[in-house]
Amino acid sequence: MATSNLFKLLIGVCFLVLLHGLPASAQLFVVNGCVYCDTCRCGFETNVSTPVSGAKVRLECRDRATWVLKFTKEATTNSKGKYKIDVYEDHKDESCKVVLVSSPHRGCDRPDIGRNSATVILTNNNGLTSISRYANAMGFLIRRPLAFCPTILKQYLDFDESL
């Protein structure tokens, strides 16, 4: 009887070891982010920046050594300018980023250089336990800044000269 229980325990331990050693190909990551229209053309979000609904973004993962594209997946932003991309693979040896593809708004459709991509890390081999990954906000530039932008920017750039 004791031998039978020991055998069952040994089988259970072997199963757990095998299960733990499986590749993380079924691992789910959820990449979340948002896209905005820079209505003042200042290179960052302000309180008058607006979400871009219907913008297309693409997740790209490239081999770190050769920069060959290994994975790509597109998404479209919702009415609040937010997108979500489900990923079912671990990309530990790849450099991944979300890039702007297009904006449906003709007046705000030029990607803001420097805010046109966002790096994301898609592996669990880095200490992160959550499946959620948050990409930095990305933005398109409006063709002509809004008339009241100088006033808005003064609020952001105002500083105490006595310091």
In a domain, 122, yes or no: yes
Count how many domains the chain has. 1
C-alpha 87/C-alpha 91 separation (Å) is 9
- Of 10-19, 46-55, 131-140, the poorest mean pLDDT is in 10-19
Instruction: Please determine, for residue 66, whether its predicted confidence score (pLDDT) is greater than 80.
Output: yes
Give residue 80's pLDDT: 98
In a domain, 3, yes or no: no
In a domain, 35, yes or no: yes
Q: DSSP letters of 92-137?
A: TTEEEEEEEEE-S-TTS-EE-TTSSEEEE---STTS---SEEEPPP
In a domain, 18, yes or no: no
In a domain, 38, yes or no: yes
Instruction: Please determine, for residue 95, whether its predicted confidence score (pLDDT) is greater than 80.
Output: yes
In this predicted model, what pLDDT tens digit does every residue of 125-157 receive, in sequence order? 888 888 999 999 999 999 999 999 998 888 887
How much is the pTM?
0.78
List the beta bridge partners of residue 139. 36
pLDDT band at 17 (very low <50, low <70, confident <90, very high): very low
In a domain, 55, yes or no: yes
Instruction: Please determine, for residue 1, whether its predicted confidence score (pLDDT) is greater than 60.
Output: no
In a domain, 125, yes or no: yes
In a domain, 109, yes or no: yes
In this predicted model, what pLDDT tens digit does every residue of 96-124 receive, in sequence order? 999 999 999 999 999 999 999 999 999 98
| DSSP state for residue 22 in the 8-state scheme | S
Give residue 153's pLDDT: 87
**8 A C-beta contact, residue 61 and residue 96:** yes
Q: What is the CATH number of the domain that holds 94?
A: 2.60.40.10
Domain that holds residue 111: 24-146
